[in-house]
Amino acid sequence: MAYRYLGNKSRLSEWIVNQIARHLPEGGLVADPMCGTAAVSQELALRGYDVLAGDALVFPTLHAKARLLHRHEPEFQSFGGYSEVIAKLNALPGETGYFYREFGDKGTPLERDKPRLYFTAENAGRIDAMRSFIRQAATDGCISGLEHDLLLHDLIMAVNQVANIAGTYGYFRSKISSNAARPIEIQPSSFSFNRGAHVVIHGDASTVLAEHQVDAIYLDPPYTKRQYAGNYHILETIAREDEPIARGDGGLRPWTEDASDFCYKRRAESAFREVIEAANARYIFVSYSEDGQLSPTTLLSILSDYGEVLVNTQDHLRFSSNSNAKTGTLTEFLYCVEVK
């Protein structure tokens, strides 16, 4: 199933790793501390690199674990296999829990006088049931930590298919769309064998990089003013398995502590410098869009303070979150810094 995320590098991952491979032979250790969907992390792993993946939010680390840490289909011994536990999840009747109340079209939110239309009532109730099942299975010791995280990843992927949104979770559509009306159904993940030694960490990029020596670093920071913590609040709630107070019309979880300085024009330069100065690697690769808060000229000037810089570009289709968003092609810049 497709990832519906801002800045998703699935279409660019092969090109990005091709550029990295020009400088670093396979077998090297590459950090991807802002991994997002982990598309680049997975491509690096498939090409023979060891990968240290991480993110400041929890839900991207679930994607990274699913893509990097499973050599084969997990056993799920207590349930008779992976396909069997997926079948159990899909057969669950709905519950009138947190998601039904706060995000279903028949809910009664605590801090809003009418329902939020993120999901149909049926799908919201089934999300509640699936969350309860996964949490209880982990509490009872019926699944391992890695199996637990995989099921949350699978649930997030299924939620993405039926969410009544235009592109992000910042707000919902005014009417339930045909896609959102379909019953939610979890699909099992597929796994690609790789032979590398990989690690996935939840944490701020600067902290992660300061604590690890690697051969190269791939940075893919936010480049627009839209905060991931706010725009993907529902996915973060699934990943954290909590039930925060849903604030405002959009039902956002408290997210300001997870706000990224890269999304603020006045803070973006200092954010770049903080991460780069925490890095401990010979090569630093930076993905950045022409739509970024910093111009290509400004970013090139910043990176040049840390070493020799090469620049590659690739055009690709622009991500459009709604009918009013820009369309057409967008130029992605990939900067390679050979650190002094």
For 139, the token pair is 């509490």
Q: Is residue 155 a contact partner of residue 130, using CB atoms and an 8 Å limit? A: yes
Task: Give 228's contacts (C-beta < 8 A, 6+ positions apart).
Answer: 6, 57, 222, 260
pLDDT of residue 291: 84
* pLDDT digits 0-9 by tens, 265-298: 999 999 999 999 999 999 999 999 988 899 999 9
Q: Domain 1-72+195-222+260-340 maps to which CATH number in 3.40.50.12780, 3.30.365.10, 3.40.50.300, 3.40.50.150?
A: 3.40.50.150
Residue that is written with structure tokens 């030694």 in the block: 197
> Hey, is 246 helix, strand or coil?
coil
Model pTM score? 0.93
Average pLDDT in the 237-249 region?
97
> Which residue, among 164, 151, 192, has the nearest Cα to 69 in the 3D structure?
192
Does the pLDDT of residue 129 top 90, yes or no?
yes
Burial of 134 per CB tally in 10 Å (0-12, 13-18, 19+): buried
> Hey, is 124 helix, strand or coil?
helix
Does the pLDDT of residue 94 top 90, yes or no?
yes
* pLDDT digits 0-9 by tens, 62-83: 999 999 999 889 999 999 999 9
d(CA 153, CA 64): 9
pLDDT of residue 193: 81
Radius of gyration of the chain (CA): 20
Beta bridge partners of 219: 286
Q: Is residue 35 a contact partner of residue 182, using CB atoms and an 8 Å limit? A: no
pLDDT of residue 5: 73
How many other C-beta atoms are found inside a 10 Å radius of the C-beta of residue 97?
A: 17
Q: Where are the domains of the chain?
A: 1-72+195-222+260-340, 74-190+237-257
* pLDDT digits 0-9 by tens, 180-193: 999 999 999 999 88
For 171, the token pair is 């707000």
Q: How many Cα atoms are found within 13 Å in the side-chain-facing hemisphere of 207?
A: 7
d(CA 149, CA 126): 19
- Residue 95: pLDDT band (50, 70, 90) is very high
| CA end-to-end distance (rounded Å), the chain | 42
d(CA 98, CA 95): 9
- Residue 23: pLDDT band (50, 70, 90) is very high
Task: Give 297's contacts (C-beta < 8 A, 6+ positions apart).
Answer: none
Does the pLDDT of residue 324 top 60, yes or no?
no
Residue that is written with structure tokens 């810094």 in the block: 337
Share of the chain above pLDDT 70, in %: 95
d(CA 321, CA 307): 36
pLDDT of residue 328: 66
pLDDT of residue 125: 98
The packing angle between helices 145-162 and 82-90, to 10°, is: 40
* pLDDT digits 0-9 by tens, 207-240: 999 999 999 999 999 988 989 999 999 999 999 9
Does the pLDDT of residue 319 top 60, yes or no?
no
- The enclosing H or E element of 103 equals helix 98-103
The Cα-based distances of 151 to 77, 114, 145, 188, 221 in angstroms read: 14, 31, 10, 9, 27
Q: Is residue 218 a contact partner of residue 30, using CB atoms and an 8 Å limit? A: yes
What DSSP line would sit under 264-317, residue for residue?
STTTHHHHHHHHHHH--SSEEEEEEETTSSS-HHHHHHHHHTSEEEEEEEEEEE
Average pLDDT in the 327-333 region?
81
Residue that is written with structure tokens 């925060």 in the block: 244
Q: At 107, which amino acid appears?
A: G
Widest Cα–Cα separation across the chain: 59
